[in-house]
Amino acid sequence: MKGFVAGCVLVGVVLALAAVSLVWLPYDPADTSGARLVPPGGAHLLGTDKLGRDLLTHLMIGARIALTAGAGSVLLGGVLGVAAGLAAGFATRWLDDALAAALDALIAFPTLLLAMLVVAVREASLGSAVLAIGLAMSAVVARLTRILVKRVLAQDYITAARTSGSSWPRVIVEHVLPNIWPTLLVNLALQFGLAVLAEASLSYLGLGPPPPNASWGRLLHEAQATVLTAPVGAIAPGILLVVLVVGVNLVADGLRDLAPGRSR
């Protein structure tokens, strides 16, 4: 329970940064009037980058990008994954086998490579990153959903519901989904953290949203050359990434403990 609260606080910090950035920013993100690599303190709370832009401003915008990337990927991966998982769970033997094989293949495919493919076909943007991460995630979610569905379908109460005349859609809504959502929710929360990290990696490699979008991954990349003279530029986005990902994981753990009928 303590972990859950701590997680909420950590995620809350990032949420607050992102929310505030929508209505107020310390500086215009395109404002290059500052001096080069100003140390933290004074007019620039966290200092400036090479171009004289305010670091805090970019971190706040970066929080928005990180949360968007996480939420977008989870939404896409969740919807696709749960749908595919349900289909596989209910499918006839051969279709189930085919779907399972396809999912395994997709899981074996590195997310980065998938992202590069998506970027090559589309362009380097936040949308492409979310699409790639969401697709990769859908396979993981689908596999989990499939197993959960099969486990539920093997239960006696399903047979009972069917013999008493319930249709399959009704069984899904009344019996299957209520039994699998707690596990799914925990898993999706974990996937959120992974998606945030994946987006930062893609941006670090230049495959994320193009400049001047201040993804934390891009900020890390840009600060790399000046890490010895202006370390805050690299440390600050790094810390925020840790805060968000640890926070999300703690929340996921908490959710698992709170879920009804938890396994542990």
Partner 1 sequence: MTRKFAGVAVALALALAACGSDPAAAPQKSPSSGTADATIEIGSQYEPQNLDNTGGGGQGVTEALNGNVYEGLFKLTDAGKVENLLAESQEVSDDGLTYTFKLRQGVKFHSGKALTSADVKHSIERVTAEDSQSARKSQLEVIKSVAAPDDRTVVVTLASRSISLVYNLSYVWIVNADAKDLATSEDGTGPYKLGVWKRGSTLSLEPFPGYWGPRPANGGVVFHYFTEATALNNALLTGAVDIVTSEQSPDALGQFTGNADYKVSEGHSTTKLLLAFNDRKAPFDKPLVRKAVSSAIDDAKLLESIWAGHGSLIGSMVPPTDPWYEDLTTIDPYDVELAKRQLAEAGYAKGFRFTLDTPNYDPHPTAATFIKSELAKVGITVDINVITADEWYSKVFKNHDFAATLQEHVNDRDVVWYGNPDFYWGYDNKQVTDWIKQAEQAKTAEEQTGLLKKANRQIAEDAASDWLYLYPQIVVASSKLSGYPVNGLNSQFSAYGIKKG
Question: Any contact of residue 212 with partner 1 (CB under 8 A)?
Answer: yes
Task: Kindly give, in sequence order, each residue whose CB lies less than 8 Å from that of residue 254, ignoring residues fewer than 6 positions away.
Answer: 1, 3, 4, 5, 7, 8
Is 98 or 227 the residue whose CB approaches partner 1 more closely?
227
Q: Among 27-35, 103-111, 161-169, 180-188, which window interacts with partner 1 (CB under 8 A)?
A: 27-35
The site that binds partner 1 (CB under 8 A) totals a number of residues, namely 23
Site string for partner 1, 50-69 (x = CB under 8 A): xxxx----------------
Binding to partner 1 by residue 166, rule CB under 8 A?
Answer: no
Q: How far is CA 51 from CA 6, 212, 222, in A?
A: 36, 11, 11
Nearer to partner 1, 17 or 222 (CB): 222
Residues 6+ apart with CB under 8 A from 167: none
> Is there binding between residue 116 and partner 1 (CB under 8 A)?
no
Residue 210 interacting with partner 1 (CB under 8 A):
yes
> In angstroms, rounded to a whole number, what is the distance separating the alpha carbons of residues 151 and 134?
25
228 is a contact residue toward partner 1 (CB under 8 A): yes
Identify the residue among 229, 242, 257, 258 touching partner 1 (CB under 8 A).
229
Contact flags string 68-107 toward partner 1, x per CB under 8 A: ----------------------------------------
CA distance 216 to 60: 10
Nearest CB to partner 1, comparing residues 95 and 225: 225
127 touching partner 1, by CB under 8 A: no
Nearest-CA neighbor of 45 among 33, 59, 31? 59
Which span (45-53, 100-108, 173-181, 256-264) binds partner 1, by CB under 8 A?
45-53
User: How many Cβ atoms sit within 10 Å of the Cβ of residue 90?
Assistant: 17
- The residue (of 75 and 225) whose beta carbon lies closer to partner 1 is 225
> CB of residue 212 vs partner 1: minimum separation in angstroms?
4
Interface with partner 1, residue 113, by CB under 8 A: no
Pick the piece of the chain touching partner 1 (CB under 8 A) from 86-94, 145-153, 174-182, 203-211.
203-211
Nearest to 255 by CA among 184, 158, 155: 184
* Part in contact with partner 1 (CB under 8 A); list of ranges 8-16, 48-56, 60-68, 158-166: 48-56
Q: Which chain residues interact with partner 1 by CB under 8 A? A: 30-32, 36-37, 50-53, 123-124, 206, 210-212, 222, 224-230
